[in-house]
Amino acid sequence: MGRLPEAWIAPPATRELRGWVRHRAKLVGLRSSLKCQVHGVLANAGVWVPMTDLFGVAGQQLLADLSGGERLSVESRSRLDSTLRVIAALEFEIELFAKLVNGRLRTDPGYRTIQQIPGIGPVLAGVFVAEIGDITRFTRPQQLASWAGLTPKHHESDTTVHRGRITKQGSRLVRWAAVEAVQRVGGHTRLGQHRDRVAARRGRNIGVVAAARELLTLVFYGLRDHHIRALTTPAATSTPAPASVA
């Protein structure tokens, strides 16, 4: 049906960039797991965490007080200290690979352009550039969304057509990056308005997925044309229109 591009083998430079991006993503996953372990240690020790971000400024002070105080048992304190040391080591490696990707792409016009899209910073832009590779292998943004697994499953018989959940087939990292980006944007942005408008009718998850597809449309044209239109928010008195990109 022409919805997916032909098979494409990434050139060596793209494969190297993907290796860095994917390694960083794995390190971030390990860090998230260890942070959950820290929460578990404190919960088992009966320590109340009043802040929403245990690893923010206030949370770091709480962890320092616990590490050097007597509120925790020797066993809990040793586990906490060990986990925090590993997290600190991971932070260094995560930052290192982010710098490697940014250094490789800092002059790439597509990389710089898509950072104009709300919710996309250097890290997510690096994911899109590395994982998508040559954007010209896609003829239209719908192919990119399908390749990222963000299009609904399609079941058709003689008389009925049923669209189910998204396929989740294709690039997991691109799908994650698109969803992560649209969850960051505020409701005053065009993407945020599209997300919230669909969410009001069909639920939060469907709204996020719809906005993620819209974001990939902007990414497609940003990588292809090195220019993005329709990023401004419509006037509050007018009905928001879908983003159009030329």
Report DSSP letters for 199-212, one per residue: HHHH-HHHHHHHHH
Distance CA 186, CA 119 (A): 9
- Structure-block tokens of residue 48: 């109340």
**pLDDT at residue 166, rounded to an integer:** 57
Distance CA 207, CA 201 (A): 9
Check residue 130 and give left, alpha or beta (phi > 0: left; psi -120 to 50: alpha). alpha
**pLDDT at residue 170, rounded to an integer:** 73
Residues of the chain with pLDDT under 70: 1-7, 153-169, 230-246
Other beta carbons within 10 angstroms of residue 228's beta carbon come to: 20
Other beta carbons within 10 angstroms of residue 124's beta carbon come to: 23
**pLDDT at residue 110, rounded to an integer:** 96
What's the CA angle centered on 15, arms 111 and 150, to 5 degrees? 65
**pLDDT at residue 142, rounded to an integer:** 92
Q: Of the candidates 16, 19, 46, 28, which has an alpha carbon nearest to the alpha carbon of residue 94?
A: 28
List residues bridging with 152 in a β-sheet.
166
**pLDDT at residue 163, rounded to an integer:** 52
**pLDDT at residue 10, rounded to an integer:** 84
pLDDT tens readout for residues 116-143: 999 999 999 999 999 999 999 999 999 9
Distance CA 208, CA 146 (A): 16
Q: How far is CA 144 from each of CA 34, 170, 180, 213, 218, rounded to the nearest angstrom?
A: 34, 10, 17, 9, 11
